[in-house]
Structure 1
Amino acid sequence: MSFPEDLLADEEEIVLHLRGHWKAVVLPAVVLVLAVTGLVTAWVLLPPSEGGRIGLLMVAGIVLYYGSRYGVGPLLRWWSTEYVLTTERLLVQRGMLARERRDLPLERVNDHVMTQSLVDRMFGSGTLTIDSIGDQTAVLAGIPAAQLVQNTLYELIETAPAPVIEDPAPAADRG
Protein backbone atom coordinates (compact mmCIF):
# COMPACT_ATOMS: atom_id res chain seq x y z
CA MET A 1 0.00 0.00 0.00
CA SER A 2 1.52 3.25 -1.04
CA PHE A 3 0.29 6.67 -0.12
CA PRO A 4 1.18 9.76 -2.16
CA GLU A 5 3.93 11.62 -0.32
CA ASP A 6 2.90 14.91 -1.95
CA LEU A 7 -0.21 14.97 0.27
CA LEU A 8 1.93 15.27 3.38
CA ALA A 9 3.08 18.56 4.86
CA ASP A 10 6.72 19.38 5.53
CA GLU A 11 8.19 17.14 8.22
CA GLU A 12 4.95 15.14 8.43
CA GLU A 13 5.53 11.40 8.54
CA ILE A 14 3.23 8.42 8.10
CA VAL A 15 2.89 6.49 11.36
CA LEU A 16 0.23 3.93 10.36
CA HIS A 17 -1.27 3.12 6.98
CA LEU A 18 -4.25 0.79 7.29
CA ARG A 19 -6.98 -0.83 5.31
CA GLY A 20 -9.99 -2.59 6.82
CA HIS A 21 -9.42 -5.97 8.47
CA TRP A 22 -9.26 -8.98 6.13
CA LYS A 23 -12.33 -10.50 7.78
CA ALA A 24 -14.40 -7.94 5.85
CA VAL A 25 -13.60 -9.71 2.56
CA VAL A 26 -14.52 -13.24 3.65
CA LEU A 27 -18.30 -12.97 3.13
CA PRO A 28 -18.05 -11.15 -0.25
CA ALA A 29 -15.53 -13.74 -1.44
CA VAL A 30 -17.88 -16.57 -0.40
CA VAL A 31 -20.73 -14.83 -2.25
CA LEU A 32 -18.61 -14.61 -5.40
CA VAL A 33 -17.61 -18.27 -5.19
CA LEU A 34 -21.26 -19.32 -4.69
CA ALA A 35 -22.37 -17.09 -7.57
CA VAL A 36 -19.82 -18.55 -9.99
CA THR A 37 -20.63 -22.07 -8.78
CA GLY A 38 -24.35 -21.47 -9.32
CA LEU A 39 -23.77 -20.11 -12.81
CA VAL A 40 -21.52 -23.02 -13.83
CA THR A 41 -23.98 -25.52 -12.35
CA ALA A 42 -26.86 -23.96 -14.29
CA TRP A 43 -24.79 -23.96 -17.48
CA VAL A 44 -23.94 -27.65 -17.09
CA LEU A 45 -27.31 -28.93 -15.88
CA LEU A 46 -29.78 -26.94 -17.99
CA PRO A 47 -30.68 -28.52 -21.34
CA PRO A 48 -29.41 -26.92 -24.57
CA SER A 49 -32.96 -26.11 -25.66
CA GLU A 50 -34.52 -22.67 -25.84
CA GLY A 51 -36.07 -23.13 -22.40
CA GLY A 52 -32.65 -24.04 -21.02
CA ARG A 53 -31.13 -20.90 -22.55
CA ILE A 54 -33.87 -18.75 -21.02
CA GLY A 55 -33.28 -20.42 -17.66
CA LEU A 56 -29.52 -19.85 -18.00
CA LEU A 57 -30.11 -16.16 -18.80
CA MET A 58 -32.34 -15.83 -15.73
CA VAL A 59 -29.74 -17.52 -13.52
CA ALA A 60 -27.02 -15.33 -15.05
CA GLY A 61 -29.06 -12.19 -14.32
CA ILE A 62 -29.65 -13.21 -10.71
CA VAL A 63 -26.00 -14.19 -10.24
CA LEU A 64 -24.83 -10.93 -11.82
CA TYR A 65 -27.06 -8.85 -9.53
CA TYR A 66 -26.23 -10.61 -6.27
CA GLY A 67 -22.59 -11.19 -7.17
CA SER A 68 -22.01 -7.52 -7.92
CA ARG A 69 -24.08 -6.17 -5.03
CA TYR A 70 -22.90 -8.50 -2.27
CA GLY A 71 -19.59 -9.69 -3.71
CA VAL A 72 -17.77 -7.23 -5.95
CA GLY A 73 -19.20 -4.06 -4.37
CA PRO A 74 -18.03 -4.76 -0.80
CA LEU A 75 -14.64 -5.97 -2.08
CA LEU A 76 -14.12 -2.74 -4.03
CA ARG A 77 -15.21 -0.62 -1.05
CA TRP A 78 -12.77 -2.49 1.19
CA TRP A 79 -9.96 -2.16 -1.32
CA SER A 80 -10.53 1.56 -1.93
CA THR A 81 -10.75 2.65 1.73
CA GLU A 82 -7.53 3.68 3.46
CA TYR A 83 -6.81 5.05 6.90
CA VAL A 84 -3.56 6.96 7.29
CA LEU A 85 -2.34 8.21 10.67
CA THR A 86 0.48 10.72 10.42
CA THR A 87 2.35 12.72 13.03
CA GLU A 88 -0.07 15.62 12.49
CA ARG A 89 -3.43 14.28 11.28
CA LEU A 90 -5.69 11.38 10.45
CA LEU A 91 -6.62 10.93 6.80
CA VAL A 92 -9.58 8.80 5.72
CA GLN A 93 -9.64 8.19 1.99
CA ARG A 94 -12.44 6.39 0.15
CA GLY A 95 -13.32 5.70 -3.47
CA MET A 96 -11.79 4.51 -6.70
CA LEU A 97 -13.28 6.68 -9.43
CA ALA A 98 -14.67 9.46 -7.28
CA ARG A 99 -12.45 9.99 -4.27
CA GLU A 100 -13.36 11.42 -0.87
CA ARG A 101 -10.59 12.38 1.55
CA ARG A 102 -11.16 13.61 5.09
CA ASP A 103 -8.40 15.18 7.15
CA LEU A 104 -8.70 15.40 10.89
CA PRO A 105 -5.89 17.33 12.61
CA LEU A 106 -4.71 15.55 15.75
CA GLU A 107 -4.66 18.81 17.68
CA ARG A 108 -8.45 19.02 17.30
CA VAL A 109 -9.19 15.49 18.59
CA ASN A 110 -10.92 15.58 21.95
CA ASP A 111 -12.18 11.98 22.28
CA HIS A 112 -11.58 8.55 20.75
CA VAL A 113 -13.56 5.42 21.52
CA MET A 114 -12.81 1.87 20.46
CA THR A 115 -15.61 -0.68 20.27
CA GLN A 116 -15.18 -4.40 19.69
CA SER A 117 -17.72 -7.16 19.26
CA LEU A 118 -16.89 -10.71 20.31
CA VAL A 119 -15.78 -11.53 16.76
CA ASP A 120 -13.69 -8.33 16.65
CA ARG A 121 -11.97 -9.33 19.88
CA MET A 122 -11.16 -12.76 18.48
CA PHE A 123 -9.54 -11.20 15.39
CA GLY A 124 -8.03 -8.19 17.17
CA SER A 125 -10.00 -5.76 15.06
CA GLY A 126 -12.47 -3.07 16.09
CA THR A 127 -14.09 0.24 15.29
CA LEU A 128 -12.44 3.46 16.35
CA THR A 129 -14.67 6.53 16.62
CA ILE A 130 -12.75 9.80 16.81
CA ASP A 131 -14.52 13.00 17.84
CA SER A 132 -12.99 16.40 17.38
CA ILE A 133 -13.67 20.02 18.15
CA GLY A 134 -16.40 21.34 15.87
CA ASP A 135 -18.61 18.21 15.80
CA GLN A 136 -16.43 16.45 13.26
CA THR A 137 -16.37 12.67 13.68
CA ALA A 138 -14.28 10.05 11.91
CA VAL A 139 -15.25 6.38 12.12
CA LEU A 140 -12.55 3.83 11.32
CA ALA A 141 -14.68 0.71 10.92
CA GLY A 142 -13.20 -2.76 11.14
CA ILE A 143 -9.56 -1.79 11.47
CA PRO A 144 -6.93 -4.40 12.32
CA ALA A 145 -5.02 -4.13 15.61
CA ALA A 146 -7.56 -1.64 16.95
CA GLN A 147 -5.96 -1.37 20.40
CA LEU A 148 -2.57 -0.61 18.88
CA VAL A 149 -4.11 2.06 16.67
CA GLN A 150 -5.90 3.64 19.64
CA ASN A 151 -2.72 3.63 21.74
CA THR A 152 -0.68 5.10 18.88
CA LEU A 153 -3.33 7.78 18.35
CA TYR A 154 -3.24 8.62 22.06
CA GLU A 155 0.56 8.91 22.04
CA LEU A 156 0.50 11.15 18.97
CA ILE A 157 -2.15 13.41 20.50
CA GLU A 158 -0.14 13.72 23.71
CA THR A 159 3.07 14.61 21.87
CA ALA A 160 1.41 16.98 19.39
CA PRO A 161 2.09 20.66 20.04
CA ALA A 162 -0.78 22.56 21.60
CA PRO A 163 -2.66 24.81 19.18
CA VAL A 164 -1.86 28.50 19.39
CA ILE A 165 -4.98 30.52 20.14
CA GLU A 166 -4.67 34.17 19.31
CA ASP A 167 -6.74 36.81 21.03
CA PRO A 168 -8.53 38.82 18.34
CA ALA A 169 -8.64 41.97 20.47
CA PRO A 170 -5.37 43.96 20.76
CA ALA A 171 -3.93 44.41 24.23
CA ALA A 172 -4.69 48.16 24.15
CA ASP A 173 -8.44 47.54 23.70
CA ARG A 174 -8.71 45.44 26.85
CA GLY A 175 -9.98 47.62 29.65
Structure 2
Amino acid sequence: MAYPTKLLNDGEHVVISTRTHPKALIGPAMILIVVVAAVLVVASMTDSTVLGAVTGAIAAGVVVWFVLRPFIDWLTTTYTFTNRRFIKRSGLIAKEGRTIPLNRISGVDFEIGVIDRIFGCGTLIVSDASTNGRVLLDDIPQVEQVQLKVAQELHTLAGGDRADDGT
Protein backbone atom coordinates (compact mmCIF):
# COMPACT_ATOMS: atom_id res chain seq x y z
CA MET A 1 0.00 0.00 0.00
CA ALA A 2 3.03 2.24 -0.41
CA TYR A 3 2.33 5.72 -1.68
CA PRO A 4 3.40 6.08 -5.34
CA THR A 5 6.83 7.71 -5.51
CA LYS A 6 5.86 9.43 -8.76
CA LEU A 7 3.45 11.58 -6.70
CA LEU A 8 6.16 12.75 -4.30
CA ASN A 9 8.03 16.03 -4.74
CA ASP A 10 11.83 16.25 -4.92
CA GLY A 11 13.34 15.58 -1.50
CA GLU A 12 10.07 14.25 -0.12
CA HIS A 13 9.84 10.79 1.44
CA VAL A 14 7.09 8.76 3.09
CA VAL A 15 7.20 8.70 6.88
CA ILE A 16 4.17 6.46 7.34
CA SER A 17 1.43 5.15 5.08
CA THR A 18 -1.57 3.24 6.36
CA ARG A 19 -5.24 2.52 5.85
CA THR A 20 -8.15 1.87 8.14
CA HIS A 21 -7.87 -1.24 10.35
CA PRO A 22 -9.58 -4.33 8.88
CA LYS A 23 -12.01 -4.24 11.83
CA ALA A 24 -13.98 -1.80 9.66
CA LEU A 25 -14.93 -4.81 7.53
CA ILE A 26 -16.54 -6.79 10.37
CA GLY A 27 -19.95 -5.15 9.83
CA PRO A 28 -19.98 -5.81 6.08
CA ALA A 29 -18.85 -9.41 6.67
CA MET A 30 -21.71 -9.96 9.11
CA ILE A 31 -24.17 -8.47 6.61
CA LEU A 32 -22.85 -10.84 3.95
CA ILE A 33 -23.38 -13.83 6.24
CA VAL A 34 -26.94 -12.73 7.05
CA VAL A 35 -27.78 -12.16 3.36
CA VAL A 36 -26.41 -15.56 2.32
CA ALA A 37 -28.35 -17.24 5.15
CA ALA A 38 -31.54 -15.40 4.18
CA VAL A 39 -31.18 -16.40 0.53
CA LEU A 40 -30.62 -20.03 1.52
CA VAL A 41 -33.69 -19.99 3.79
CA VAL A 42 -35.88 -18.46 1.10
CA ALA A 43 -34.52 -20.89 -1.51
CA SER A 44 -35.25 -23.89 0.72
CA MET A 45 -38.78 -22.69 1.55
CA THR A 46 -40.03 -22.05 -1.97
CA ASP A 47 -39.90 -23.47 -5.46
CA SER A 48 -41.04 -20.20 -7.07
CA THR A 49 -38.69 -18.91 -9.74
CA VAL A 50 -40.12 -15.40 -9.44
CA LEU A 51 -39.60 -15.29 -5.66
CA GLY A 52 -36.09 -16.66 -6.14
CA ALA A 53 -35.28 -14.00 -8.73
CA VAL A 54 -36.67 -11.21 -6.54
CA THR A 55 -34.77 -12.52 -3.51
CA GLY A 56 -31.59 -12.79 -5.59
CA ALA A 57 -31.96 -9.25 -6.91
CA ILE A 58 -32.54 -7.83 -3.44
CA ALA A 59 -29.63 -9.85 -2.05
CA ALA A 60 -27.35 -8.65 -4.86
CA GLY A 61 -28.32 -5.03 -4.18
CA VAL A 62 -27.68 -5.41 -0.46
CA VAL A 63 -24.33 -7.11 -1.06
CA VAL A 64 -23.18 -4.45 -3.52
CA TRP A 65 -24.26 -1.51 -1.34
CA PHE A 66 -23.47 -2.81 2.16
CA VAL A 67 -20.58 -5.23 1.50
CA LEU A 68 -18.77 -4.52 -1.77
CA ARG A 69 -18.87 -0.70 -1.53
CA PRO A 70 -17.40 -0.57 2.02
CA PHE A 71 -14.74 -3.11 1.02
CA ILE A 72 -13.70 -1.05 -2.01
CA ASP A 73 -13.71 2.11 0.14
CA TRP A 74 -11.47 0.35 2.67
CA LEU A 75 -9.17 -1.01 -0.02
CA THR A 76 -8.73 2.28 -1.89
CA THR A 77 -8.43 4.75 1.01
CA THR A 78 -4.94 5.49 2.29
CA TYR A 79 -3.49 7.94 4.77
CA THR A 80 0.10 8.99 4.17
CA PHE A 81 2.40 11.29 6.10
CA THR A 82 5.53 12.43 4.31
CA ASN A 83 8.26 14.67 5.64
CA ARG A 84 6.31 17.60 4.10
CA ARG A 85 2.58 16.84 4.09
CA PHE A 86 -0.38 14.69 5.11
CA ILE A 87 -2.21 13.05 2.19
CA LYS A 88 -5.57 11.30 2.26
CA ARG A 89 -6.46 9.53 -0.98
CA SER A 90 -9.52 7.47 -1.81
CA GLY A 91 -11.44 6.17 -4.76
CA LEU A 92 -11.23 3.43 -7.33
CA ILE A 93 -12.48 5.13 -10.49
CA ALA A 94 -13.27 8.64 -9.28
CA LYS A 95 -10.36 9.74 -7.11
CA GLU A 96 -10.54 12.11 -4.18
CA GLY A 97 -7.67 13.55 -2.19
CA ARG A 98 -6.86 15.95 0.59
CA THR A 99 -3.44 17.35 1.37
CA ILE A 100 -2.35 19.34 4.41
CA PRO A 101 1.20 20.70 4.54
CA LEU A 102 2.94 19.57 7.74
CA ASN A 103 3.80 23.16 8.62
CA ARG A 104 0.03 23.86 8.84
CA ILE A 105 -0.59 20.99 11.27
CA SER A 106 -0.82 22.29 14.81
CA GLY A 107 -1.25 18.95 16.57
CA VAL A 108 -1.72 15.22 16.22
CA ASP A 109 -3.69 13.45 18.93
CA PHE A 110 -5.24 10.02 19.31
CA GLU A 111 -8.20 8.39 21.05
CA ILE A 112 -8.48 4.70 21.84
CA GLY A 113 -11.80 3.23 22.94
CA VAL A 114 -12.32 -0.14 24.60
CA ILE A 115 -13.10 -1.97 21.35
CA ASP A 116 -10.24 -0.16 19.62
CA ARG A 117 -7.86 -1.38 22.32
CA ILE A 118 -8.92 -4.98 21.66
CA PHE A 119 -8.19 -4.59 17.94
CA GLY A 120 -5.03 -2.49 18.36
CA CYS A 121 -6.30 0.62 16.62
CA GLY A 122 -7.75 4.04 17.39
CA THR A 123 -8.71 7.44 16.03
CA LEU A 124 -5.95 9.80 14.92
CA ILE A 125 -6.90 13.48 15.14
CA VAL A 126 -4.93 15.81 12.89
CA SER A 127 -5.50 19.46 13.83
CA ASP A 128 -4.63 22.20 11.39
CA ALA A 129 -5.05 25.93 11.00
CA SER A 130 -7.75 25.68 8.33
CA THR A 131 -11.44 26.50 8.66
CA ASN A 132 -12.20 22.77 8.94
CA GLY A 133 -10.00 22.65 12.03
CA ARG A 134 -9.30 18.94 12.27
CA VAL A 135 -9.40 15.67 10.43
CA LEU A 136 -10.51 12.49 12.20
CA LEU A 137 -8.93 9.30 10.90
CA ASP A 138 -10.93 6.44 12.42
CA ASP A 139 -9.59 2.94 13.08
CA ILE A 140 -5.92 3.59 12.39
CA PRO A 141 -3.81 0.51 13.21
CA GLN A 142 -1.21 1.04 15.95
CA VAL A 143 -2.43 4.61 16.36
CA GLU A 144 -0.02 5.40 19.20
CA GLN A 145 3.02 4.56 17.07
CA VAL A 146 1.59 6.53 14.14
CA GLN A 147 0.99 9.55 16.38
CA LEU A 148 4.53 9.26 17.76
CA LYS A 149 6.13 9.14 14.30
CA VAL A 150 4.07 12.08 13.03
CA ALA A 151 4.78 14.12 16.17
CA GLN A 152 8.50 13.43 15.71
CA GLU A 153 8.31 14.57 12.09
CA LEU A 154 6.51 17.77 13.16
CA HIS A 155 9.19 18.32 15.79
CA THR A 156 11.93 17.85 13.18
CA LEU A 157 10.17 20.21 10.77
CA ALA A 158 9.95 22.87 13.48
CA GLY A 159 13.74 22.68 13.93
CA GLY A 160 13.58 20.74 17.17
CA ASP A 161 16.53 18.52 16.25
CA ARG A 162 19.04 21.30 15.69
CA ALA A 163 22.21 20.98 17.76
CA ASP A 164 22.45 23.33 20.71
CA ASP A 165 24.84 26.20 20.13
CA GLY A 166 25.96 26.21 23.75
CA THR A 167 24.33 29.51 24.73
Cα drift, residue 104 of structure 1: 1.0
**1:146 alignment counterpart:** 143
**1:158 alignment counterpart:** 155
Matched, 1:66 2:62: yes
Cα drift, residue 39 of structure 1: 2.5
| One-letter amino acid of the counterpart of residue 91, structure 2 | G
Cα drift, residue 31 of structure 1: 1.6
Measure, in 1, the Cα distance between the counterparts of 2:94 and 2:16: 24
RMSD of the TM alignment (CA)?
1.7
Single out whichever of 31-40 and 73-82 deviates more from structure 2: 31-40
Matched, 1:106 2:102: yes
**2:165 alignment counterpart:** none
**1:84 alignment counterpart:** 80
Q: Is the 8 A contact 1:94 1:101 kept in 2?
A: yes
Structure index of larger Rg = 1
Matched, 1:35 2:35: yes
| Structure-1-length-normalised TM-score | 0.82
Cα drift, residue 58 of structure 1: 2.3
Cα drift, residue 113 of structure 1: 2.4
Q: Is the 8 A contact 1:32 1:72 kept in 2?
A: no
Cα drift, residue 89 of structure 1: 1.0
Unpaired stretches in structure 2, ≥5 consecutive residues: 160-167
**1:171 alignment counterpart:** none
- Equivalent residues, number: 158
Measure, in 2, the Cα distance between the counterparts of 1:96 and 1:20: 16
Cα drift, residue 34 of structure 1: 2.8
Unpaired stretches in structure 1, ≥5 consecutive residues: 163-175
Q: Is the 8 A contact 1:129 1:138 kept in 2?
A: yes
Residue identity (%): 27
Measure, in 2, the Cα distance between the counterparts of 1:90 and 1:24: 22
Q: Find the residue that maps to 2:12 and give its secondary structure.
A: coil
Q: C-alpha offsets along residues 60-110 of structure 1, whole Å, 9 cap, x if unaligned?
A: 132122222221111111111101111111110011111111111111111
| One-letter amino acid of the counterpart of residue 119, structure 1 | I
Q: C-alpha offsets along residues 9-52 of structure 1, whole Å, 9 cap, x if unaligned?
A: 111111111011011112212222332343344334421xxxx1
Q: Find the residue that maps to 1:79 and give its secondary structure.
A: helix
Measure, in 1, the Cα distance between the counterparts of 2:136 and 2:78: 12
